[in-house]
Homo-oligomer: A and B are copies of this chain.
Amino acid sequence: MSIAPETTVHPALRVAVIGAGYWGPNLARNFAMSGDWELVAVCDMDAERAAALAHKTGEPAVVTSVDRLLRDHDIDAVAIATPARTHHAIAMQAIAAGKHVLVEKPLADNSIHGREMVRAARAAGTILMADHTYCYTPAVLKIRDLLASGELGEILYIDSVRINLGLVQPDVDVFWDLAPHDLSILDFILPGGLNPVGVSAQGADPLNSGKSCVGYLSLPLHNGALAHIHVNWLSPTKIRQMVIGGSRKTLVWDDLNPQQRLSIFDRGVDLDRQEMVRGDAAGRKGAAISYRLGDTWSPALSEFEPLGLMVSEYAASIRSRTPAPTDGESALRVLSVLEAASRSLANRGRDGRLVPTTSVLEAAQ
């Protein structure tokens, strides 16, 4: 997969945006500006809202039902920005009509629905893509490149913190509100995607709001590595930071520091991995330890609008019939981890037992 947009002489693909609420306008605007796309229609049950959006994006057609959209308009693809619980029905209908589908996160309201969508798209030969916007930012693309190149060595641990004084959401807890960002990023940057061997969640609802407002998510990875995510709606300070510790180098991404968003530290602990016999009763695992204290490097990042790249990738994926960088299966992995986290939280009984682990792989089958 090439992430870089290419100049093409292809005719523009025809797309409709479904949902003119909070996020739809962002998608519509980027489709309207893209040379890859022609924005053919805006669809929303609220005709006035749809018309207002159409007015700002070059006056595409205004449609008030998905049925009519699919029946009356010649489109190649749709972009769905409606509430999560409606994603499944709309996407299945569009796939059945042979359309390519882009879905705002989360892919669906549960993984059963998500899996149906993935299977249906595969069967129909259409592209199913998730709008994991963060994955198209300059910083995350650079991180992905660095991990793919082996610059960091093997991944040892990942620690992600996403906290601020946030809106306590009416319907979802802090895991479902904030962790999808971290999880979709992990899935995007980890070679092979996000495949934890377990999922363990710790949550707290100290305000008695009925849902976790503070959350910790532990995701043991293969080879002994561990990913950990801290999400928090109650923090007076805002932190958006991810540390990726590798056997060769360690990367720190501080998204709130525009002057040095990424830092790659050539520092770490080296262990000659060998058995050593020691003087005590039994031979024990020992090691010759050494430390590296090398330079730090902060790569320059280009600047562009992530959604602009995303719609461009959507077009490229359709034209080449290859999965998008954030395809349906990727979104399904994210969804499965969130569901496993919820199960982990629910299983914490009154006796104080905290965290039964649920395998994502099992959950996804």
Whether B197 contacts A226 by the Cβ 8 Å rule is no
Give, as a whole number of angstroms, the nearest-CB distance from A133 to chain B: 22
**In the assembled complex, how far is the CB of residue A255 from the closest CB belonging to chain B, in whole angstroms?**
14
Pairwise interchain contact B204-A220, C-beta atoms closer than 8 A: yes
Residue contact A157 to B209, C-beta cutoff 8 Å: no
A156 touches B206 (CB 8 A): yes
Tell me if A11 is interfacial: C-beta within 8 Å of chain B. no
What residues of chain B lie closer than 8 Å to A266, measured between beta carbons? Answer: 300
Closest to A213 in B: B269
With A206-B226, A226-B204, A232-B157 known to touch, is A198 a contact of B299 (CB < 8 Å)? Answer: no
A225 vs B225: C-alpha distance when bound (angstroms): 28
Interface residues of A in 190-221 (CB under 8 A from B): 197-198, 200, 202-210, 213-214, 216, 218, 220
Interface membership of chain A positions 163-180, coded 1 if the CB is closer than 8 angstroms to chain B and 0 otherwise:
001011010000000000
Closest chain B residue to A236, Cβ basis: B265
User: Contact: B355 with A200, CB < 8 Å?
Assistant: yes
**Copies per complex of this chain:** 4
Q: Which of A165, A223, A294, A297 has the most CB of B within 10 A?
A: A165
Interface residues of A in 94-134 (CB under 8 A from B): none
Given contacts A157-B232, A357-B354, contact A202 B214 (CB under 8 A): no
Q: Does A235 have its Cβ within 8 Å of any Cβ on chain B?
A: yes
Contact A252/B237 with A202-B218, A216-B216 known, Cβ cut-off 8 Å: yes
Given contacts A259-B238, A268-B236, A286-B170, contact A200 B354 (CB under 8 A): yes
Number of interface residues of A (CB under 8 A): 76
Q: Note all chain B residues with C-beta closer than 8 A to A208.
A: 224, 271, 273, 285, 287
A9 close to B (CB within 8 Å): no
Q: How many angstroms between the C-alpha atoms of A263 and B156 in the bound complex?
A: 27
A245 interface hit (Cβ, 8 Å): yes
Shortest beta-carbon distance, A39 to chain B, in Å? 20
Q: Are A298 and B299 in contact, with the CB atoms below 8 A?
A: no
How distant is A363 from chain B, measured CB to nearest CB, in Å? 12
**Is A356 among interface residues, defined by CB-CB distance under 8 A?**
yes
Shortest distance between the CB of A30 and any CB in chain B (Å)? 20
Assess whether A356 is in contact with B357, with CB atoms less than 8 Å apart: no
Residues of B within 8 A of A224 (CB): 204-206, 208
**In the complex, A214→B225 CA distance in Å?**
9
Residue-wise interface mask of A (275-304) relative to B, using a CB-CB cutoff of 8 A (1 in contact, 0 not): 000000000111101010111111110000
Can you name 8 A-B residue pairings with CB atoms under 8 Å?
A: A165-B268, A168-B271, A170-B286, A208-B224, A209-B285, A234-B245, A293-B300, A297-B297
